[in-house]
Structure 1
Amino acid sequence: MATTTLSRPSDNKWIAGVCAGLGDRFGIDANLIRLAFVISCLLPGPQFIVYIVLWIIMPKRAGY
């Protein structure tokens, strides 16, 4: 079930919960987002910077 806001859960997280939060928001399995992130790291680009920025700006989900 997709959530209406973009937030990081306190459960189902591996590092910071960014991929789990994105998966919850868009109704996609978090493992697929994690796999896409790892594969994207093989390409040049700012993947790690985007991850860190999302880690900073995404609030933790309340109630957990």
Structure 2
Amino acid sequence: MEAKKLYRSIKNKMLGGVAAGLGEYLNIDPTLVRLGFIALALLGGPGIVIYLIMWVVVPEEPVDLPPAQ
């Protein structure tokens, strides 16, 4: 069994792909993750800081390129 890896999404991103990537990884709707980040930010929590750190640290989803001919 292959281990699941966390990536920033390139297909379903709005800003940096962090929320969409987390949604795919946790198998939940990315909108819920986005709302969670917004709630943390509005309640004086570290929502924006966590998002920015994850944007830098989490790698972007690899693109499956066709083999070169």
For normalisation by structure 2, the TM-score amounts to: 0.80
Question: Can you list the C-alpha shifts for 1:1-56, whole angstroms capped at 9, x where unaligned?
Answer: xx810101111100000000100111010011111211222211222111110000
Higher relative contact order (CA 8 A, sep 6+): 1
Aligned-residue RMSD, C-alpha: 1.5
Q: Which has the larger radius of gyration?
A: 2
- Counterpart contact for 2:23–2:33, Cα < 8 Å: yes
Q: Structure 1 segments of 4 or more deviating over 3 A?
A: none
Structure 1: where are the runs of 5+ without partners?
A: none
TM-score by length of 1: 0.85
How many percent identity over aligned positions?
Answer: 37
User: 2:17, 2:34 → 1: CA distance?
Assistant: 10
Partner of 2:35: 35
Name stretches of at least 5 consecutive residues in structure 2 with no aligned partner.
65-69
